[in-house]
Structure formats: C-alpha cells, structure tokens
C-alpha cells in the first residue's frame, strides 16, 4: 500500500502526518470543505499531460493537431483547461458540443463524432460551424446535405472500420469487424465518392479509431497501414485509445512511445504533407483525478465488506467492463494490520463493487478512502441510481481548491418532473 501514491496525480505527495496531498491540498481538508464523495482533479498534472501530448506531437509531425476526446471527461472546466493548453476538442453529441463552446473552444478546432447523429445534433454542428464532422454512415451524408443551406459547405472525414482487434474489453473495442462504428473498406468507397461529388460537403480525409484502454502499440500502427488503402487525402485522424494506469500491474506505453509509433507509421504509409490528428482521452485525464469517499460500514465475515458513501453512481467502470481500481485510507496508506477486504458502494446491486480483494489497514467507520485514477469516464457515466445525487468536481492547484461542478441537490432530482 505504500506504493499507492504511484497511482495518484503526478504532483501528489504526503504531508508531515502522512495525509495525501492532491494538487497541494490535504485530502481531509478537501473532504471537509466539499463533502464526500468528491472528485478532485490535480490541475497542474492535467495541464502537464495535455502539454506532453501537444508538444510531443508537434516535434514528431509538425502538421498535426491534438484534440481531446471530451467523452472521457466532458466537464466544462476540464475542456477549458484543454483549450487553454492548445488542444482542440473531439465531441460525440450535442451536449458535448455545447459544453465545448462554453469552454471557449474555437469551433474550427472541434471534431464531431457519432454513429447515430440526430437531426438536432447535425443542426447544432452546422449552426456553430464546427471544423470537422466525421461521417460514420451514408445517413450522415443525407442529414448534412439536407441541413446545410445553399452555398454553404462542411469539411468531413469518413470513419473507416479497419478490422483491427486490439486486446481490450469488448465494450471499448471499436476497430474490429462487426463494430457499430465506421465503414469497412467496400462500403466506404461509394460514400467517399458521393461526398467528393457533393456541392455541400468537402472530403478532407479519413478517420480511424480502434478502441480504448489499449496497452499494445501494434494495433495503432496496423490501423494506419489499413486506412491508407483508400487513397491519399489531406487529413488523417488516427483516433486515440492509449491505455492508462489504474493498478500497480498496469504498464501502458509511455506517451512518447505511443507518439513515436504513430509518427513512424504515418511516415511509412501516409502522404508527407498530410495533416495528422490524434484524439487522446483516457490517457490524458485518468491519472489526474482522485475520488474521496467516507467509509459508512465495515462488515466482517468470510469476505469483509468496507462500504462507502458512493459507488456505481459515481464510478460505473467496474460494473460496466470490470476495470480494476486500487484504494487507500487517507493518513495510513500502509500499516502492519492490513486486512483483505472488498470495497463496495451503497447502491442496491451486487455488482456495486469499487475494489475487489484489496488490503486496507484496520478500516473503520468514518475513515476517508481515496481511489486514484478516476479522471476518465467516472464523471461521464455518473448517474442517479437509487436517487443518488451526482457528486461535485473540484480542481486543486498549488494548495488552493475551487469547485467547478456542484453536488446535485435533492431538488435537482425532481426538477424535470412535470406532474
């Protein structure tokens, strides 16, 4: 457990009494001020990770863009940090478009995805003149042409299904045969020809994305080799998907190694003057946030259950696709009396498990529990199961913390009722 700090944001540390510091703020002070559960983002760590991507890509392929995959953490304040650091934003729905615009992004730096874009989302994209719309199917072409006024034109990419199967959970696999995303090569060709003939659409290039939480570089390079078979274009969006470290056993490739591999594949297969876009998400934000919980009950038995005041309402990744997390008691990450426990949530589901079979030193009701690496998809998939209120988000930096998303109120739970 002494090594748990390795999984915290890069600038974390321990205060003199062993209390963990997140963005220079004591975890117990954060819990006292904002309550629990609370999602704490170390802002400097977030900014550093964003710069690592944008600077690294610029040195390897000058004609490049990095767009943050907003779906990983579509909080306006997080999107604003990305914009501040020079990243564009990849959005996958109308709500993400609107929060991106509120965050101050240049619409020209927005890439819109989606396998089932609605008429309303297409209208929003056209009205705000988003830079690129990724065509996932022929119906996207129909909607765009019907929505764009005469004399207007929209730059588009066509999403290709490369038939590459990465070693990751099936729920986050998107480049394999049978995926709902993109078009296989035979189906893509007529869509590309149609766009090239369209008076309202400008065919800019191709898009490929093979999935998420990928720990091997080969699938990324293989997808580049596959996409080139459809011809040469000005733009190639190579997606994202690099894995993040959640546990001690995780060993994702370094960002530098990932960028080396992508740039090498681009030099081998793509036109030298093409613009390359990448869309990192999970690997940007996962390690930059920590969720703090309060222990509510400790139930000894064949399995000792340590239950906290949150769970699958604020972290659905475990129940959805078995993601492993680690946890520690604030103030005593290590101890001679550690016991094997399972950390569970407060929701009425047996699948509401946060950390299965972990060692905690003498867990007690009232303890503050920290779960690191919760920056990706936890906020995204937060829900109101059992009438739970969604938790706040706090940005911590240089010892100061600021609330950027408030905790829901009880009134919020009924605010949409009409009767």
Q: Which residues are catalytic?
A: 348
For residue 51, the tally of other CB atoms under 10 A from its CB is 14
* C-beta separation of 91 from 112 below 8 A: yes
Give the whole-angstrom CA distance, residue 388 versus residue 288.
25
Distance CA 337, CA 346 (A): 25
Which 3 state secondary structure label does DSSP give 191? helix
- Which residue, 69, 188, 98, 177, is CA-closest to 136? 188
DSSP class per residue in 291-349: EEEEEEEEE-SSS-EEEES-STTT--HHHHH------EETT-S--TTEEEEEEE-SSS-
At residue 21's C-alpha, the angle toward residues 319 and 285, to 5°, is 45
* Contact between residue 20 and residue 27 where contact means Cβ atoms under 8 Å apart: yes
Quick one: which of 108, 117, 62 has its CA closest to 89?
108
Tokens, residue 261: 């591999």
Q: How many CB atoms sit inside 10 A of residue 18's CB?
A: 11
Q: Which of 278, 240, 239, 282 is nearest to 377 (CA)?
A: 282
As a whole number of angstroms, the distance between CA 22 and CA 337 comes to 26
Q: Going by C-beta distance under 8 Å and a sequence separation of 6 or more, which residues neighbour residue 363?
A: 295, 298, 304, 306, 329, 339, 341, 369
What is the sign of the dihedral through the CA atoms of 298, 9, 213 and 282?
positive
Cα R_g (the chain), whole angstroms: 22
- Residue 417, φ and ψ in degrees, nearest 5: -65, 140
**How many Cβ atoms from other residues are within 10 Å of residue 127's Cβ?**
11
d(CA 32, CA 14): 18
């Amino acid at each position: 457990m002494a090594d748990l700090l390795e999984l915290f944001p890069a600038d974390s540390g321990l205060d003199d009494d062993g209390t963990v510091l997140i963005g220079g703020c004591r975890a117990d002070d954060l819990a006292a001020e904002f309550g629990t559960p609370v999602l704490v983002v170390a802002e400097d760590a977030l900014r550093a990770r964003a710069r690592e991507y944008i600077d690294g890509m610029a040195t390897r392929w000058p004609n490049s863009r990095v767009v943050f995959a907003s779906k990983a953490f579509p909080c306006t304040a997080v999107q604003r940090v990305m914009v501040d650091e020079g990243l564009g934003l990849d959005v996958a729905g109308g709500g993400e478009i609107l929060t991106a615009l509120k965050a101050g992004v240049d619409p020209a730096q927005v890439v819109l995805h989606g396998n089932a874009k609605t008429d309303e989302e297409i209208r929003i994209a056209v009205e705000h003149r988003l830079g690129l719309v990724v065509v996932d199917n022929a119906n996207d072409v129909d909607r765009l042409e019907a929505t764009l006024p005469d004399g207007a034109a929209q730059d588009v990419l066509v999403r290709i299904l490369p038939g590459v199967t990465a070693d990751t959970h099936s729920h986050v696999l998107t480049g394999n045969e049978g995926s709902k995303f993109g078009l296989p090569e035979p189906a893509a060709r007529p869509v590309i020809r149609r766009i090239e003939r369209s008076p309202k659409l400008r065919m800019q290039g191709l898009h490929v994305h093979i999935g998420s939480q990928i720990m091997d570089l080969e699938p990324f390079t293989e997808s580049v080799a596959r996409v080139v078979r459809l011809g040469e274009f000005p733009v190639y969006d190579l997606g994202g998907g690099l894995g993040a470290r959640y546990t001690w056993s995780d060993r994702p490739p370094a960002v530098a190694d990932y960028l080396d591999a992508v740039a090498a594949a681009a030099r081998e297969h793509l036109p030298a003057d093409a613009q390359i876009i990448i869309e990192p998400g999970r690997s940007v934000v996962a390690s930059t946030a920590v969720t703090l919980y309060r222990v509510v009950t400790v139930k000894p038995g064949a399995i000792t259950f340590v239950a906290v005041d949150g769970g699958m309402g604020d972290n659905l990744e475990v129940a959805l696709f078995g993601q492993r997390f680690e946890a520690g008691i604030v103030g005593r990450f290590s101890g001679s009396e550690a016991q094997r426990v399972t950390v569970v949530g407060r929701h009425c589901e047996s699948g509401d498990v946060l950390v299965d079979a972990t060692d905690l030193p003498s867990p007690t009701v009232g303890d503050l529990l920290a779960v690191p690496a919760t920056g990706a998809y936890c906020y995204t998939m937060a829900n109101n199961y059992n009438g739970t209120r969604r938790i706040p988000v706090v940005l911590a930096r240089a010892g100061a913390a600021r609330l950027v998303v408030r905790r829901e109120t009880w009134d919020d739970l009924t605010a949409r009722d009409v009767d």
